[in-house]
A and B are shown apart, each in its own frame.
Chain A
Amino acid sequence: MPDLPFPFDPARLFAHAGGHSGRLGIGYRAHGPDWAELALPYRAELVGDVETGVLASGPILSMMDMATSMAIWLKLGGLRPQATLDLRIDYLRPATPGKTVIGRGECYRITRAIAFIRGQAHDGDPDDPLAHVSGTYMFLEAQP
């Protein structure tokens, strides 16, 4: 992949917390050449079921959308405008009330038009995931 004109710094993306991710309290954790890891701290206002105190699935979906999106830019080596085409999430078990949810997104294939992603979320033990995602993104500008 050629170097893109706009480098991508995943940690800086969250330095000025605003927008939807800031409202949810999502933060940067770690990244590698084709993956990014984010954290969603537990908050009572993000609960989807007041009886159990379990987080709503929406914030986890938002975090996985961001982590997988960042994984593409990391694999590309820079920013390229893209939009989510589809995202599937399997809820393997409820998130444990009170615990921070960690989401890791990975980009495993990039073509001229499409990026393919997958990822998992857990709340402390990566071997005990609570959600699994897979999906595709399309690039908004045609590639030569």
Chain B
Amino acid sequence: MTLPPYALVLGLRIESDTDADGPPVLVMPFSEDVLGRPGFVHGGALGGLLEMAAIAALQQALAEEGGGRIKPINVTVDFMRGGREKETRAVGIVTRLGTRVANVEAVAWQDDRIKPIASARMNYLIVRPG
């Protein structure tokens, strides 16, 4: 998969040892470009990372069914912990892929995957070809 220009502004890359069968894990390095208040990752950058992880998971799931266009309907982000000056990882989980709508979740963490710093729920409109 190819990441859009905005993902490059966040400095995102796909984790190289991502499980080939599972959804891709995205990595966002810490930099001045994602800095919010001093010492912490900006909440908007975390939201953007979660959205990218959700879209990546959804694109992968959709590709197995012949592809389609994805349009965001909404996203709700919950912030659990401040993101510190280190790498942040995120992965999306497609909870339901319907004919017209998909429900997707995403979670972001730093040191420990079971201690998320932020999570999100998204609804997407799916436009399938033909």
Bound complex: CA of A89 vs CA of B5, how far in Å?
Answer: 21
| B42 interface hit (Cβ, 8 Å) | yes
Within 8 A of B (CB), among A78-124: 83-91, 94
Q: Which of B35, B72, B73, B75 is close to A20, meaning CB atoms less than 8 Å apart?
A: B35
Beta-carbon contacts under 8 Å, A58-78 to B: 58-59, 61-66
Which stretch (A4-12, A27-35, A41-49) binds chain B? A41-49
Query: B residues within 8 A CB of A20?
Result: 33-36, 42, 44-45
Chain B residues within 8 Å of A2, by CB:
none
* B5 contact set on A, CB distance < 8 A: 44-48, 50, 56
A58 cross-chain contacts in B, Cβ below 8 A:
6, 10, 44-45, 47-49, 51-52
How far, in whole Å, are A59 and B7 apart by their CA atoms in the complex? 11
Total B residues in contact with A, Cβ cutoff 8 Å: 31
Report how far A24 CA is from B45 CA in the complex, Å. 10
Say whether, besides A63-B44, A90-B74, A91-B72, A23 and B33 are in contact (CB < 8 Å): yes
Contact A83 B51 (CB under 8 A): no
Contact between B78 and A85 (Cβ–Cβ < 8 Å)?
yes
Given the interface contacts A20-B33, A87-B77, does A62 sit within 8 Å of B4 by beta carbon? Answer: no
Let me know if B4 and A86 touch, CB within 8 A: no
**What chain A residues lie within 8 Å of B8 (beta carbons)?**
45
Q: How many residues of A contact B (CB 8 A)?
A: 34
Looking at A56, A58, A64, A94, the one whose CB has the most chain B CB atoms below 10 A away is: A58
Tell me whether B48 and A83 are in contact (CB under 8 A).
Answer: no
CB-nearest residue of chain A to B48 = A58
List, in ascending order, chain B residues with CB within 8 A of A45's CB: 5-6, 8-9
Within 8 A of A (CB), among B40-82: 42-45, 47-49, 51-52, 71-79, 82
Which chain B residues border A86 with CB–CB below 8 Å? 76-79
Q: Do A23 and B43 touch (CB < 8 A)?
A: no
Question: For residue B49, which residues in chain A have a CB less than 8 angstroms away from its CB?
Answer: 58
Give A18's nearest chain B residue, CB to CB.
B32
Q: Please, which residue of chain A has its CB at the minimum distance from the CB of B49?
A: A58
